[in-house]
């Protein structure tokens, strides 16, 4: 049986797409799945640097016709397999996004889950991974521009018949108006990931900061995704938005918080 391909996407750079792919992949690996993560952000590849790994071959070389997929498979922390990219303009110019289809087909036949980390924007190299996926998970931060760009990415996916499973909102604090953000979505909200100062360590957080709130959120998200991908669950019937009050209370009390205590708002209005 071929594996499940999930593209992790979002219109704006720096919202946590790579972090999401790495942590979901690592959590799946802990659950016994064989996982590959592909850095298809051809313009700003950062997967290798994030995990401190150096491949014999990069994805860019494969897409330029200068190597085989097997040569680029690289061991990463926690037993994860990754295919990193390059950051040079020359590598970007030589890489043909259309060849990603063959790469993903090869990986699909060898791994239980293939996670594709994408770049920002609405370019051709972003559209290709959207079209290759069985399901798309969108990532945004509460930033207004990031939310708007995520909505545009969903619209692009719809135009090419991509399947958006839902979105996660990254770097959420107790004062984030999640309800107002989700009103802009035509797709489900899968989870919120807390902005967790205690999780400032090397990735993946689920391995290196396992007790952090962010790691807890990624594990719960992964469990939900596993149910959707492999156990015939549905977002509408089986999955509630993943959020825990304790993520936003413990260690966040400050003078500003105390002043705002009676102002309402917060995640789903929970922190009144």
Beta-bridge partners for 75: 81
Separation CA 39–CA 85 (nearest Å): 6
Contact 207, 77 (CB under 8 A): yes
Q: Within 13 Å and on the Cβ side, how many CA atoms surround 66?
A: 11
CATH number for the domain whose boundaries are 4-269: 3.40.50.300
In this structure, what token pair is assigned to residue 59?
Answer: 């994805």
**Nearest to 182, CA basis, from 138, 222, 134:** 138
In this structure, what token pair is assigned to residue 218?
Answer: 């990624």
**Nearest to 229, CA basis, from 82, 115, 102:** 115
Contact 116, 110 (CB under 8 A): no
How high is the pLDDT of residue 39?
A: 95
Separation CA 20–CA 139 (nearest Å): 8
How high is the pLDDT of residue 267?
A: 60
How high is the pLDDT of residue 44?
A: 86
Contact 122, 153 (CB under 8 A): yes
How high is the pLDDT of residue 262?
A: 38
**Nearest to 222, CA basis, from 4, 1, 41:** 4
Residue 57 — left, alpha, or beta (φ > 0 → left; ψ -120 to 50 → alpha)? beta
Longest dimension (CA), the chain: 61
What does pTM read for this prediction?
Answer: 0.91
Distances (CA, A) of 16 to 11, 120, 146, 167, 236: 11, 11, 11, 12, 25
Going residue by residue through the chain, which has 272 residues, state the pLDDT in tens, using 9 for 90 and above.
689 999 999 989 899 999 999 999 999 999 999 999 999 999 889 999 999 998 889 999 999 998 899 999 999 999 999 999 987 777 778 889 899 999 999 999 999 999 999 988 777 878 999 999 999 999 999 999 999 999 999 999 999 999 999 999 999 999 999 999 999 999 999 999 999 887 777 889 999 999 999 999 999 999 999 999 999 999 999 999 999 999 987 544 443 343 343 334 556 554 44
Quick check: bond before 191 cis, omega within 30? no
Separation CA 106–CA 49 (nearest Å): 24
Query: Collapsing DSSP states into helix, strand and coil, what is residue 79?
Result: helix
Separation CA 91–CA 127 (nearest Å): 19
Tell me the domain boundaries of the chain. 4-269
Helices of type H across the chain: 17-30, 47-51, 59-63, 69-72, 89-94, 100-108, 124-132, 144-159, 178-182, 205-208, 213-230, 235-238, 255-260
Which phi and psi (to 5°) does residue 270 adopt?
-75, -25
How high is the pLDDT of residue 256?
A: 38
């Amino acid at each position: 049986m071929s594996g499940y391909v999930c593209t992790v996407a979002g219109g704006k750079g720096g919202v946590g797409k790579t972090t999401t792919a790495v942590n979901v992949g690592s959590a799946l690996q802990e659950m016994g799945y064989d996982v590959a993560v592909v850095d298809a952000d051809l313009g700003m590849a950062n997967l290798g640097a994030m995990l401190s790994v150096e491949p014999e071959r990069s994805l860019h070389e494969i897409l330029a016709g200068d190597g085989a997929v097997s040569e680029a498979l690289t061991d990463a922390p926690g037993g994860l397999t990754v295919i990193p990219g390059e950051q040079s303009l020359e590598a970007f110019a030589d890489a043909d996004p259309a060849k990603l289809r063959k790469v993903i087909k090869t990986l699909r036949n060898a791994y239980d889950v293939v996670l594709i980390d994408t770049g920002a924007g609405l370019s051709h190299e972003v559209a290709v991974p959207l079209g290759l996926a069985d399901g798309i998970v969108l990532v945004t931060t509460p930033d207004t521009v990031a939310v708007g760009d995520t909505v545009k990415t969903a619209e692009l996916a719809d135009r090419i018949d991509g399947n958006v499973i839902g979105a996660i909102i990254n770097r959420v604090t107790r004062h984030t108006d999640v309800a107002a953000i989700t009103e802009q979505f035509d797709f489900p909200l899968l989870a919120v990931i807390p902005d967790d100062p205690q999780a400032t360590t090397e990735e993946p957080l689920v391995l290196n900061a396992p007790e952090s709130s962010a790691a807890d959120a990624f594990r719960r998200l992964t469990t939900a995704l596993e149910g959707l991908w492999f156990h015939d669950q549905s977002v509408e019937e089986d999955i509630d938005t993943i959020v825990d009050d304790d993520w936003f209370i413990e260690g966040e009390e400050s003078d500003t918080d105390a002043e705002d205590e009676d102002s309402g708002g917060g995640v789903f209005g929970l922190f009144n």
